[in-house]
Amino acid sequence: MNIDIFKSLRVGFLVALIAGCGGGGGGGIVAGAGIGGSGITSFGAVTAVGSITVNGVKFDTQGATVTVDDAAGVESDLKVGLIATVTGTLDSDRLTGTATRVELVSELKGTVDAAPTITATGGTFTVFGQVALVDGNTVFGNASGLADFPAGTPVEVSGFRDSGGQVRVTRVEKKAAVPASLKVTGTLANVDNGARTFALGSLTVNFAGARLVNTPAAGLSNGLVVEVKASSPATAGVLTATSVEVRSGRLAQASGEGRLEGIMNGLAGSAPNFSFTVSGQDVTTNAGTEYEGGTSANLANNLRVEVEGQISEGVLVATKVKFEENKNDVKITAQVTAKSTTSTNLTVFGVPGVSVKTDTSTIFQDNSSQQSRIFGFADVNVNDWLEIEAAKDSANTVAATKVVRVNAPSNNSAILQGPVDSRTALPDIFVLGVDGLTQATTTFRDANGVLLNQATFFGQVSTTANKIVKMRGQFTGLQINPVDDAQLQD
């Protein structure tokens, strides 16, 4: 039999069988299933440590081999926001597992080129001319925000590349010194195999003396995604590489079950059979693919997604696609007033207050003076101050994507940002059921920071449905009273 036909039959049979078994809720094929669990390879951002949570699975990392950018590492190297490939087994509950190997990989190691651009939702900075995009879910190491990264700051950046070449940053860490091994990743352009040079954005790389890894037989060519290492900074815009490695699909060498997080690109096909890549990994869908947070009609390039499925012939056949775009319109700085003993929900702003739902995909980080490396829902206490990024879920409930423990702010001022409730009327701003009582001394601003009077501010709030408002002040009883500052956010 022709080998190519045989492979096609194998893939077709597997796709049909997965579709027949249903979606990703545990009814699909599980490779290597047995008493010890099923085999799994998971690539994505770390959302909690102690053990390590990646793509909704909490892996026990005791005894696991850890590598950091191909060098030997230790368990304490595991940090929230880093990008990891976890190989191990998945328990029958599909929420826990055991890791045998954890590989951490960064996108950029170097120094910040120029002062960052800071916006209301995050901002950007560049390293080796590569644009790094920060948002509300970015984790900062040894820093509290972009303002702590002036030009020349040594950094290590982890994240996902989008089709425009930007790194959507999951973690950026300020380093004490310039890393001994510098690193930059990107998509090749202007490849000149004679001169032994290529371009990554505005950066020229000389690879004349570099070690080449995974290079095609025909050599380097435009469009390949590569990882470049160097021992010294760029000079006059030229970086001298010590190694150049061509990246392949993140799960291409794996088998069995796979979970994959990243940015979607190369979308092709029609419902229900689509094909695309995520973090360079080929993915296909079929009639049995389930969708969370959207439908197949919402598939689009440059969306951040998480995919679950079975790996066959280097392709991840999706049983589930979860849309992970950052749609946070709620930001909270407040004390915990209650904590559920039967769920992973918290309450802020009194009781009943605002209910904050967390799950295995919620990022947990401790930026308080306690600086606990291992920090999750179990470690949150009543009266802790938290900074929360979330999306409105229902009237007085939000779904948190990020929970950070912090020290109490000056004057214990609470912050609540979100869509105003329908019952908002001068002088009260109601957001998620919390009453913000404004006064003549309250400072009112529009989305551009321009001062407004109270009547104009409330006029703009009342004429636009779900207007996003940020208010700051003392929380007392069931109110923020008084509101010191109120600002329109859109």
User: Are 451 and 420 in the same domain?
Assistant: yes
What percentage of the chain carries pLDDT values higher than 90? Answer: 77
Mean pLDDT, the chain, integer = 90
| Contact (Cβ atoms closer than 8 angstroms) between residue 426 and residue 485 | no
- The reply to whether 4 and 42 lie within a common domain is no
pLDDT reported for residue 196: 96
What is the CATH classification number for the domain harbouring 372? 2.40.50.320
- The domain that holds 290 is classified in CATH as 2.40.50.140
Question: What's the pLDDT at 249?
Answer: 77
Are the beta carbons of 436 and 474 closer than 8 angstroms? no
Among candidate residues 352, 336, 358, 337, the one with its CA nearest the CA of residue 434 = 352
User: What are the helix and strand counts (H, E) for the chain?
Assistant: 2, 41
Last residue of a domain, one of 119, 146, 174: 174
Residues 42 and 53 in one domain: yes
One domain, residues 424 and 463: yes
pLDDT of residue 163: 84
User: Per residue in 240-277, pLDDT tens?
Assistant: 999 999 988 778 677 889 999 999 999 999 999 999 99
pLDDT digits (tens, 9 = 90+) for 77-121: 999 999 999 999 999 999 999 999 999 999 999 999 999 999 988
- 331 and 404 fall within a common domain: yes
12, pLDDT greater than 50: no
Q: What is the mean pLDDT of residues 379-407?
A: 95
In total, how many domains does the chain have?
6
In the listed set 104, 129, 152, which residue is the last one of a domain according to the structure?
A: 104
Q: What confidence score (pLDDT) does residue 36 get?
A: 52
Identify whether residues 80 and 148 lie together within a single domain.
no
Same domain, 25 and 48: no
Same domain? For 123 and 165 the reply is: yes
Which distant-in-sequence residues (6+ apart) come within 8 Å of 65 by Cβ?
Answer: 100, 101, 102
**Strand boundaries in 340-459, DSSP class E:** 345-348, 354-357, 363-366, 385-394, 397-406, 414-419, 428-431, 434-437, 443-445, 451-452
**Same domain for 271 and 331:** no
Q: Are residues 42 and 114 in the same domain?
A: no
Six token digits for residue 428: 């009260």
**In the predicted model, what is the mean pLDDT of residues 443-465?**
89
Of the three residues 117, 151, 174, the one that is the final residue of a domain is 174
pLDDT at 65: 97
pLDDT band of 18, cuts 50, 70, 90: very low
Domain that holds residue 1: 1-30+255-322
Distance CA(472)–CA(419), nearest Å, equals 15
Domain match, 25 and 36 both = no
* Co-location of 443 and 468 in the same domain: yes
